[in-house]
Each structure stands twice: as C-alpha cells, then as structure tokens.
A and B are shown apart, each in its own frame.
Chain A
C-alpha cells in the first residue's frame, strides 16, 4: 500500500494543476484558434469562415505599426537591458564596500508595477512638466526632449522606461553568474599577467552563456506581452504610434467588439513567442539527451 502510494502520490498531486493547465491554457488556445477562423464580432460565433480575419489583420496599417513597434521595442529593450545589466554587474563585482546597498537600489525598479513606471516616466518625459521644462528653467532654452509626444520617437520613450525597469533585474542575474565563475581560473589568468578586460571578454563572459540565454528569454517574453507600460506611458499614442500587438488585441476585443480580429492577432502573437521559445526548448532538450 505505502509503496503504491509512494509511486502514485506525485501523479495525484500534479493531476489537478495538470488538468487546470490543460483546460485554461491549451483549451483556451484551441478556442482562440477556432474563433480566429470565424466572423465573430460582439459575441463569439462558431461557424468557420476561413482565413478572413488574418487577411483583415495583415491589411490593417495599425497592425503593421504594432508589429514594427514590437520589433523596435523588443530589440532595443533586450539589447540595452542586457548591456546595461552586464556593465552594472561587472562594476558591482569589483568587491566594493557598499555593494549590498547599491544592488538593492538597482534592483528596486523591478519591484514597481509597470503602471507606476509608466506614469512616472510620462511625467518625467512630458515636455511641459518634466525634464525639458526643468532644463529650460535652468536657462538652456533650446533644449528639447519631446520623444514621448513625437510620433516618430515615442516608441523609444517606451524603451527608456522599459530599460529603467528591467536592467536592474538583469544585473542581478549577471551578478549571480559572475559569482559562479570558478575563482581559480581567474587567479591563474591574473598570475599570467592577462589584463582585466581580457579576463572578462575571454574567460568570464563566455562562461556565462546560460545566463545570457535565461536573461534573453525573460526579457523577450516581457517585451512581447508588454501592455501596461504602453497604456500608462502613452496610451498607445500619439495617434497609434506606440501600439503594440497586445494593445491592438485589447482594443479589438474590448473596445470595438471585434472578437475574431482580436483572436487572430492573439494567434499571431503566440506564433512570435513560439518562434523564440521553440528553438530554446529544442536546444535544452537536445542538451539533455546528449
């Protein structure tokens, strides 16, 4: 009896969450896929009509804007957060005295909700209230920093706020990675008289490849599902210049009563996520087999 229990308890404990995930994640993905093939408007309908919603989606200029914004935002957000995070981590790793305090300070933005970050940066970057007004108040009358209200630059304003929020977290990841590098190798390199920057570029950073991958995956999914930051910072504006796929989907589903269109955009978003996650999973699984 006890043996039977021992063998089956893990399965029994996992069963409810497995069932819940099956229904609430995969079940609803299937439901969304189905609805994306219909002409659903206000309420879901279930007669399949083919790829009409996807045609509409790819004909909509607003969706193009949303996708290219995702590309710009995603690339810059991931890249800058990683570079800044790595630099902060390396600087903090120099065995300085107040490391504990500094680490907490840099990590703190992650504890804020994106709504707070967005609202604060909205005020900071607003030309009439924030940075621009302040610098002009100091007498530099030609100073302009109007990214948040400039349709061509607004997406970069979103990047700034996003990077501010996430780079401290990336720093913490890298710091843990740096501490995990074998000290003996570094000492050996130092004995050989190799300069510090070479130690970093040739020994430490290459040995942190898994950390880079984790940081990339975390940041990539933050970027793709990013919604609240844009809503709080620009509301998708000016115009729809800072629309992202997630805000597009929300507008279609909840403001415009166009559920089919929302479902098709959700499916495309999922496709983007898969394009990033699947190669990662594949490499992980293969590594285990080897």
Chain B
C-alpha cells in the first residue's frame, strides 16, 4: 500500500515536471554581473519563469563584455550557440553576416515594435530588414553631471556652449577646484571626445564622421577644433587621472573634489546609490550642443534547434520589449525604456529630460549612435579612432597631427 502511494506520488510529480520541461527554454549569455545590473537581469529571469519558461543563466563577467564575446565565439564555432546573447550595435549585424542569427520578425510584428521604438534605434535591431534583436534600454552618453553646491558657490550655471564650459572651468581652476573629474582610460577619453565632437561638429557632421567614416569630415578643420577643445579638457583634469575608474571620478563630483563629469547615465546610479538627489545635490544636463548619443543594450537571438528553444526565444523577445519589463529594468539600471509609450511616473527628473530629448532629437534627425560605446562602428574602426583620441589626450600632439593620424588610422582599419 505504502509503495503504491509512493508510486502514485512519483507519477504525479513526473507528470507535473514533464510539461514544465517541454515549455519555452532559453539559455541566456550576458555580462550583467555587478550589483545593479545583476538585479536588473534577475527581473527578466523572474518574469521569464512566471510565464512558464526555463531560464538557464550564463553570466560571463569581465572586460566589459570581452570575456562574454570570447565565450560566445567558442560556442558558435562548436555549433552550440546560446539561445539569446547580450549584443549591441553593429556587432549584431556582424554576427548576422556569419549566418548565425535567428529571425524574430513574427514576434516583433505581432507586438508592433515598429510603432513603439524610435526609428533609428529600431534599425539597429534589424538585419537586412528582418528583426533579429530586442532592445532593452536606452542609455544616454552625452551627459554632463555637476556638483550643485560647487556651482552655486562659484556662481556658475550649467554650460550651454563649449565657451561657457571653458569660462566656467577657468573660474573653477582659479578657485582651486578641479573642473573636470575624469578617468584616464581609453574608453573614458573616447566618451568625452564624442561628447565634445557632437557639440562642435553638430549632428550632421557627427554622423558623417563616426557613422559613415567620411574622410573629408574626419580631416576637416572642425575636427581639428574638436581636438583643440580636447586639449583644453586635458588642462581641466587633475594630474592624477590616468587609470582611474569612472565611478571614482563620479565620487569626486559627489564629494566636491571636482565640479563636472562627462559620462553616460550609468553615473546617475552612483549618485542615487550614495543617497544624492537630482536637482538638489547633483545636476544633470546634456553636454553643450544639439543631439542625443544613445547606447542601447539589446539581446540578439541565435539560430537554435528545437521547438522549446524557439518558443523560449519568442517569449524572451516579447518580455524584453514588453512595457512592464522595460519600466522595472530601467528603474534599476538608470537608463530609460527603449519603447516610447512607457509611463515615466516612477522615473527621476534626469530620466524625464532624457526621454524628452530622445523624442525631440528623433524628430529632428539628431538621435545618434555612440561611437565610444560600440553603437556606431564595428570594433576595429571604433578601436582605431579611440587609439588616436587617447594618444592625443595623453601627449603633446597637435590637433593637425591628430586629424591626420585619425584619417590614417581609420583608413588602415578598413
């Protein structure tokens, strides 16, 4: 009798387990492993499970995604690609050209992604007209963060032009305050560079230079003016900047050791985590000039066998772009939702500004991909530009030399 009961219980257990295993499955490769990011990834994982899916987590930490990309390469070469992979920018199309990405157009069309995503961001998610990736968020890169108390004490407004910025910085220097908190790592040099370039070149020439790699624009006098401003910026950072991590630079602004920092909106997370309030303790504004540089995280779906996995891809894609996940995830991450129809009531004032500017610049055609964060160019070209930017910033190179070197480096990387 006992045994029959046991057998019955086991049978029920098996019966319950079986459908769960046959449900949607997804193995997800990502590098959201640090504090706030891991929390954000857990949100997606939970929602996937709530919808009956089985999530196999494959986090690969290290090197800003380099380690994850190495793991991905090994998996693809061995013919065993993960279901979904955190990929962004032209890397999506690069992988598509290797013939390993899946088509998720059916989900995208059923969910009406084309209507809710800004046009230029939607373009990044398509491979030859078919949807092949799902956007998670929009980080704005061209932010300038400031210590509110320092600005007030020195009678400085948030700068509207680069001349304003230089005047403010000179004033701060005279008062013995470091104007710009900066970390001397190549990607941070590139982040400041593209913010300056957007302001001085304007959106149209920015696109020509860093999306189309137009040689005339890369060699233009305006580009030389960008390097001139970079030389000024070099004078506004403290002597001890090389190698400093970006979050240490952010805490310099927080602690009043420096007035400004130019960094993407992940810096906001640092301010908020330290209990600072936007508008009161710290200020956020777009850098001088028109336009909006975005850095969009997304998941690309790889070609996989088996209905479970394909169902998993469809479910994952649907959830990622779904309004609920977009809200919860971006509240954790500091970015704004990629879809424009999400209510922003729970977001802070900086996020409101970001969303408003994104809408305006999408209409004005100045919604542009960030080159420094791998949205505009493929790795080899972006890397070649960064090499020149960081070499110029860390030496006495003249702007004319830098412009020539930039054109040579880009030509050599093609």
> Do B379 and A237 touch across chains, with their CB atoms under 8 A apart?
no
- A235 to B187, alpha carbons, bound, how many Å? 12
Looking at the assembled complex, report how far the CB atom of A57 sits from the nearest CB atom of chain B, in whole angstroms: 9
- A241 to B189, alpha carbons, bound, how many Å? 14
Given A126-B240, A146-B239, verify A258-B387 contact (CB < 8 Å).
no
Interface of B is mostly: helix
Q: Does A277 contact B (CB under 8 A)?
A: no
Q: Does B4 contact A (CB under 8 A)?
A: no
Q: In chain B, what residue has the closest Cβ to A149?
A: B242
Interface segment out of the listed B20-28, B91-99, B154-162: B91-99
> Do A235 and B185 touch across chains, with their CB atoms under 8 A apart?
yes
Q: In chain B, what residue has the closest Cβ to A241?
A: B394
Residues of B contacting A234 in the complex (Cβ-Cβ under 8 angstroms): 242-243
Q: Does B395 contact A (CB under 8 A)?
A: yes
Residues of B contacting A255 in the complex (Cβ-Cβ under 8 angstroms): 63, 66, 379, 383
Q: Does B186 contact A (CB under 8 A)?
A: yes
Given A41-B380, A61-B405, A122-B243, verify A237-B73 contact (CB < 8 Å).
no
Size of A's binding interface in residues, CB under 8 A: 31
Encoded as 1 (CB less than 8 Å from any A CB) or 0, chain B from 369 to 413 comes to 000000000111011000100110111000000000100110011
> Do B243 and A239 touch across chains, with their CB atoms under 8 A apart?
no
Given A59-B408, A149-B242, A256-B383, verify A237-B66 contact (CB < 8 Å).
no
Residues of A contacting B242 in the complex (Cβ-Cβ under 8 angstroms): 148-149, 234, 237-238
> Do A257 and B405 touch across chains, with their CB atoms under 8 A apart?
no
Encoded as 1 (CB less than 8 Å from any B CB) or 0, chain A from 89 to 114 comes to 00000000000000000000000000
**The one of B186, B405, B413 that contacts A237, using a Cβ cutoff of 8 Å:** B186
**The one of B94, B185, B390 that contacts A257, using a Cβ cutoff of 8 Å:** B94
Interface of A is mostly: loop
Size of B's binding interface in residues, CB under 8 A: 37
Q: Does B70 contact A (CB under 8 A)?
A: yes
Residues of B contacting A127 in the complex (Cβ-Cβ under 8 angstroms): 239-240
> Do A239 and B73 touch across chains, with their CB atoms under 8 A apart?
no
Q: Does B184 contact A (CB under 8 A)?
A: yes
Q: Does B274 contact A (CB under 8 A)?
A: no
Interface centre among A41, A60, A255 (most CB of B within 10 A): A255
**The one of A43, A148, A241 that contacts B73, using a Cβ cutoff of 8 Å:** A43
> Do B184 and A238 touch across chains, with their CB atoms under 8 A apart?
yes
Encoded as 1 (CB less than 8 Å from any B CB) or 0, chain A from 238 to 271 comes to 1111000000000100111110010000000000
- A251 to B379, alpha carbons, bound, how many Å? 10
Q: Does B76 contact A (CB under 8 A)?
A: yes
Looking at the assembled complex, report how far the CB atom of A184 sits from the nearest CB atom of chain B, in whole angstroms: 56
| Extra pairs beyond A56-B413, A148-B242 (7, CB < 8 Å) | A42-B98, A60-B409, A126-B240, A255-B383, A256-B379, A257-B378, A258-B383
Q: List 20 A-B contacts (CB under 8 A).
A: A42-B73, A42-B94, A60-B387, A60-B412, A61-B409, A62-B391, A127-B240, A149-B184, A149-B243, A235-B185, A237-B186, A238-B242, A238-B243, A239-B189, A239-B395, A240-B391, A241-B394, A254-B66, A254-B70, A256-B382
